[in-house]
Amino acid sequence: MSEIITHGGFRIGAGRKKLEATKVIRVPASRILEIKDYLNKPKKEVEISDVRQIDPITHLEIPLAVERVQAGFPSPAQDYIDQKVDLNEHLIRNANATFMVRVNSLSMLNIGLDINDELIVDRSLEPKHRDIVIACIDNDFTVKRLMIEGNERWLKAESPDFPDIHFNEGQTLEIWGVVTRVIKSFR
């Protein structure tokens, strides 16, 4: 007598467990092991202080006044709103490659970056000469201006109280992203 084996159909406990929604993303093949290691770390470890992924789903429109504001002598302004601006469209070029990070030093003070200013960083942009970048140097993160002259690259501080960073033999530099915007609080 042969045993009847059935395939398919509903079986209790079979199939993928539905813990939470998943999403497929593309990552460079060279970074797969690094990402797997990061995901396997205990949840209390944080590699970048106070980093927030920007939610590409939110939609917020605020009014945009037609008239520009004088920075010098005041002029009569019109109470006229022409259109609305979605801050996501205005501030973010590539939502899937964008994150925010807070400034934690005064090394970029001369270009207006203060402690706790929030930087919008796009990882999909190719860093160019004089871009403000988030860089990882020997596993330490910093925000500096990228300087490129021929084959030489260094990071320029925008404050006389901090040195520029020139690289020695064996040091590693990885550009994590290009700063595209700064959000500054005045109150």
Which residues are known catalytic residues? 107, 144
Q: Is 9 left (phi over 0), alpha (psi -120 to 50) or beta?
A: left
Of all residues in the chain, what percent are helix, strand and coil, respectively (each to 5)?
A: 10, 30, 55
Main-chain phi, psi angles of 86, to 5 degrees: -90, 120
DSSP H helices in the chain: 32-40, 87-91
CA 66 – CA 53 distance, rounded (Å)? 32
The three-state secondary structure class of 24 is coil
Query: Under 8 Å CB-to-CB from 163, ≥6 apart: which residues?
Result: 157
Six-digit token pair at 6?
A: 């059935």
Residue 80 Cα to chain centre, angstroms:
35
Characterize the bridge pairing of strands 98-102 and 61-65.
Answer: unpaired
Of 46, 187, 47, 185, give the one whose Cα is nearest residue 116.
185
